[in-house]
Structure 1
């Protein structure tokens, strides 16, 4: 689905993958689950672009619901997989630490896991080779994505700023739809390693002027970063009070 010229979305508000589209090639942001590969192929066919036009995959972090089909593209086509240096091990199969138990409601939890199973969530191949990236890097890929270090959800979580399409991809540093409760709107994401660190990391993006703020789970936000952060802080306070 085209969100804006040069910006396409694959998946839905439960789990999403995004494409930066230029005449010179494509950059993939996250790789969802293994079953999203078929959705990627359909999207590319509708655009009239071959898979070989993908020049690189940039992961917001190394969790398995973001690495999905990355190894397939790397192994079959030699497409490089970029990930924050602190998450290189996680993307390559290291088990993440246990996180505090998050609130949950049965209906949203069942929908999340049912969707994940339909999209190959039981087959989660690790990426065998990654290219570590760091805060401030500008990657040699279509759209010239800029890396912003955002530790918190995981040690190597990053935001990906793509001025060419006025978009900021924030991975799971926040969510606009909690997959465990169904609550919508900007808020802390579940399964976060370090919530205090995640909250502090939002200061890294507060001054960015973008049209699209795109989380890994939930609808894109189009009302600007200040309103996003304000809504997040309100939800964070309500969570602490409750």
Structure 2
């Protein structure tokens, strides 16, 4: 699905992967679920591209619903996987946390878990090799993605600012669809290690100029960076976080 010139998406509001398409090649933001591989191939073909045009995967963090087909890309096609140094062990499956699930609704939670299982969420292959980055780095990948540290959801959670497509990709630093309750609109994301730190990290986006604010779960936002931060803080306050 094309969102804008040079900006594409696969998946849906439950789990999404984004593609930045430039003359130098394609950068993937996250790698979703393993079973989304055919959707990746189909979207690349629709773009007039192939898997050989993918130059790298940038992980917004190391959770399993964001690393799905990353190792397949690396192992079969030599595509490097980039992740913040604080989430490298998490991405490789060497450490994990068990954050509280918090409020949930049976129907919405079942839908998310069913979709994740159907798309290979139970057979995730963790990357065996990753390349690490730090806050503020501009990666040598198509679109020149710049890393913005957003700790809270995980220690190495980041946003990825790509001015070439007028977008900032925020992973699970926030969400516009709560996968456990089905609630739509800007709000804190579930499965967060440190909710208070995640809220504070939103202000690391202050001053970012981007039309698109794109989470890993939920609809892309086009209402402005400061506006979505305000909306999430209001939602967090109303929920007692």
**TM-score after normalising by structure 1:** 0.98
What's the counterpart of residue 70 of structure 1?
Answer: 70
What's the counterpart of residue 140 of structure 1?
Answer: 140
Deviation of 1:94 after TM superposition, in Å, equals 2.3
Deviation of 1:209 after TM superposition, in Å, equals 1.1
CA distance in 2, matches of 1:176, 1:162: 20
What's the counterpart of residue 209 of structure 1?
Answer: 209
What's the counterpart of residue 121 of structure 1?
Answer: 121
CA distance in 1, matches of 2:53, 2:185: 34
CA distance in 2, matches of 1:100, 1:49: 41
Q: Give the 4+ runs in structure 1 shifted more than 2 A.
A: none
CA distance in 1, matches of 2:63, 2:95: 9
State the secondary structure of the residue aligned to 2:239.
helix
What's the counterpart of residue 175 of structure 2?
Answer: 175
What's the counterpart of residue 197 of structure 2?
Answer: 197
Deviation of 1:45 after TM superposition, in Å, equals 1.2
State the secondary structure of the residue aligned to 1:161.
strand
What's the counterpart of residue 29 of structure 2?
Answer: 29
1:56-97 Cα deviation digits (max 9, x unpaired): 000000000000000000001111000011000000012422
What's the counterpart of residue 105 of structure 2?
Answer: 105
**TM-score after normalising by structure 2:** 0.98
What's the counterpart of residue 6 of structure 1?
Answer: 6
1:119-154 Cα deviation digits (max 9, x unpaired): 111111100000011101000000000000111000
Deviation of 1:100 after TM superposition, in Å, equals 2.1
Length, aligned pairs only: 241
Deviation of 1:166 after TM superposition, in Å, equals 0.6
In the alignment, structure 1 residue 42 sits paired with structure 2 residue 42: yes
CA distance in 2, matches of 1:130, 1:54: 16
Structure 2 residue runs without a partner (length 5+): none
State the secondary structure of the residue aligned to 1:49.
coil
How large is the Cα RMSD of the aligned pairs? 0.8
